Amino acid sequence: MSRIALRGSGLVKRYGDVVALDGLDLEVRAGECFGLLGPNGAGKTTTVEILEGLTPPDRGTVEILGRTWTEDPRGLRERIGIQLQETQLAEKLTVLETITLFRSFYRKGLDPAEVMRIVQLEDKESAWVRKLSGGQKQRLSLAAALVGDPEILFLDEPTTGLDPQARRQVWDVIADVKARGGTVLLTTHYMEEAERLCDRIAIVDRGKVIALDTPAALIAGLGAEHVLEIETESDVDLPRLRGLREVHDLRRDGATLSLTVREVHRAIPQLLAELDAQSVALTRLTTHHATLEDVFVSMTGRHLRDN
Amino acid sequence: MRHPLFEITRVKFLEFVREPEAIFWVLVFPILLSLALGVAFRTKPPEALAIAVQGGPGAEAARAALAADPALSPRVLTEIGCREALRAGRVALVVVPGARVTYWFDPTRDESRVARLAADAALQGAAGRADPVAASDRLMTEKGSRYIDFLVPGLLGMNLMGTGMWGVGFSIVTARSRGLLKRLIATPMRKRHYLVGQMLGRMAFLVPEVGLLVAFAVLVFDVPLRGSLAALVVVSGLGGLAFTGIGLLVAARPRTIEGVSGLMNFVMLPMWIFSGVFFSPARFPDALQPAIHALPLTALNDALRAVMLDGASIVAVAPQLAVVAGWGLVALAGALWLFRWK
């Protein structure tokens, strides 16, 4: 087993009566991209800020690169890079000035020009931060996290609020860091992001890790790889539908019925025949590969994104 | 790579010069203020005092006798007109002629008392009184004693206070409210580098700030600069540093601009009033004087006036500088202790 870069054990954090973290454990291996996936308010940011040494936990321990925050805070700060969820960098500084400022805080690190190349902001070198788009600001924030050439990179919701193209550009930067052997811990509530970037994922809900594995293994844990979603004109006899051989699991979500199935080409004829037998007409049928979203829904009965 | 203190100072300075409003309030506004006040309180030739003579027998003779004194400008009014003019302050004094002359005036008005003395002397002289002692006048019009001369060092001190406190307070609280301070503390940056960098960055624009106002006052109003330039630089620099330290202390905790604004005004208001910016603090009761002179702006203004108007040396203003430096050090220590990043 590879070296542990980061370990949080039994982390508890309360804010007044609200329990943000309820005994959370996780381990991140050196060189992997580890994702914390969960809905808003699950405790992802609190977890990351405790690991980053910015928030003290009420209980539990944190070990980073074999050290604790009380032993060697400055030494650890030299070795990690952080992107916070809501940092607004100084508006009247240029991209280069901002990166140069952050570079000066680290004893060793990357050349600002090199960092601008990594985050694809070379042509914005002299632009004021105020003039940057949301995606460019986010990549500048990544640059500030990368300029100390960190051994561990912490990214809290790095693409929240970005359009798909800007999101893809941020993913490219993170993939580049990974390719160079960096350890990344990121939080997200976008399952595509977690699936695409992360080697392993912890699904977090209500301050606890409720599942932890590779994305493929988490999806395989559903026992079936496809999801059929149907809507019908009238009520369906659910127990009989659940009794179908190809249907692994069934869940009602408003007007929609979600059926987890192993093989779509066998499941659909069975389903249609059964609905026919019940004299129920279909108004909609869609099918997709099972995703982490489906994993989360099957474990909690709720969706990752609250909409 | 350059030292973090250099970079923090540099970006602090850059952010300032890229803020047109800041340039206006720090560099232009004090000059406009000194221009307006300098014009409003410019030295005027002494004006004749307006007085009234109540109409009736002997009124015209009295008016002629009073008009012989160029310091008096008498006119004849009815009794009602006299009362109105006196009450409205259009005349300083009403003279009621008669076998026994009556002077009608408000004894709390300085100019009325002066007018009474002058009018009485004019009437007595016209009636044949001879002065037993010969007297002549010698006039004092030396520069350095005008209001503008008093005002400019006060404005300089007020400006050092305002820009020192706002210059660091505003940007720190803005950075805190935008999450930037939290981001900075997530790096290996040292707290003292950040705070000292804020002070140094602010000091960089102290040079044009002091230089422009002093040059303007000297060139336009002929305000004297009797002490050495070095003494002025030392006093201004120390004052700027001290108020920057107080600004850091005030900005140590507030999370919003509204919060820090209220606190700033709470700290600065007493000094605007008591510290001798626009008028001498000697006007306040004796019991308040020790407290007034313990205020950093009073000490700074005293030192600036001593250097500019009296040609004092650094050694001569050492007690005032000690007060200023003491405030700065205590405030900086407090800021380091109280400062919160989130």
pLDDT per residue as tens digits for the range A96-151: 999 999 999 999 999 999 999 999 999 999 999 999 999 999 999 999 999 999 99
Cα separations in angstroms, A62 against A47, A51, A68, A76, B64: 10, 6, 6, 12, 99
pTM value is: 0.80
Q: Write a three-state SS string for A210-268.
A: EEEECHHHHHHCCCCCEEEEEEECCCCCHHHHHCCCCEEEEEEECCEEEEEECCHHHHH
Distance from CA of A74 to the nearest CA of B (A): 5
Q: What gap in Å lies between CA B122 and CA B68, rounded to an integer?
A: 7
- Spatial separation of the C-alpha atoms in residues A219 and A294, rounded to whole Å: 8
B175/A84 Cβ within 8 A = no
Supply the ipTM of this predicted assembly.
0.85
> Which chain A residues have a beta carbon less than 8 Å from that of B11?
90, 93, 97, 101
Cβ distance of A104 and B180 shorter than 8 Å:
no
pLDDT band at A191 (very low <50, low <70, confident <90, very high): confident
Query: How many residue contacts between A and B have a Cβ separation below 8 Å?
Result: 66
Q: Which residues of B touch A107 (CB under 8 A)?
A: 188
Q: What is the pLDDT of residue A296?
A: 85
B170–chain A nearest CA distance, Å: 13
Q: Which of A105, A151, A152 to mutate to test the interface with B (most CBs of B within 10 A)?
A: A105
Q: Which residues of chain B have pLDDT under 50?
A: none
Chain A residues in contact with B187 by the CB 8 A cut-off are 77, 82, 102, 105-106, 148
Residue type, A61: T
What pLDDT, on a 0 to 100 scale, did the predictor assign at position B45?
A: 67
Closest partner CB to A92 (pick from B18, B183, B188): B18
Rounded to the nearest angstrom, the gap between the alpha carbon of residue A171 and the centroid of all alpha carbons in its chain is 12
CB B103 within 8 A of CB B93: yes
> Residues B173-208: pLDDT tens digits?
999 999 999 999 999 999 889 998 999 998 888 888
Out of A87, A92, A102, the one facing B19 most closely (by C-beta) is A92
Q: Which residue among A90, A92, A104 places its CB closest to the CB of B1?
A: A104
Res. A305 pLDDT band, cuts 50 70 90: low
pLDDT for position B184: 94
For residue A142, the chain B residue with the least C-alpha distance is B183
Q: Chain B: give the shortest CA distance to residue A43, in Å.
A: 19
Predicted confidence band of residue A306 (pLDDT cuts 50, 70, 90): low
Q: Does the distance separating the beta carbons of A97 and B175 come in below 8 Å? A: no
pLDDT digits 0-9 by tens, A52-110: 999 999 999 999 999 999 998 999 999 999 999 888 899 999 999 999 999 999 999 99
* Chain A residues touching residue B14 (CB < 8 angstroms): 92-93, 97
| Integer Cα distance of A94 and A183 in angstroms | 29
> Are B114 and B47 in contact, with CB atoms under 8 Å apart?
no
pLDDT tens digits, A210-262: 999 999 898 888 777 889 999 998 888 888 888 888 888 888 888 889 898 88
Q: How far is B163 from chain A (nearest CA, A)?
A: 19
pLDDT at site B208 = 87
Read off the pLDDT band of A307 (50, 70, 90): very low
Residues paired with residue B103 on neighbouring β-strands, in sequence order: B95
Shortest distance between the Cα of B22 and any Cα of chain A, in A, equals 13
The SS3 call for residue B4 is: helix
Residue A255: per-residue pLDDT: 85
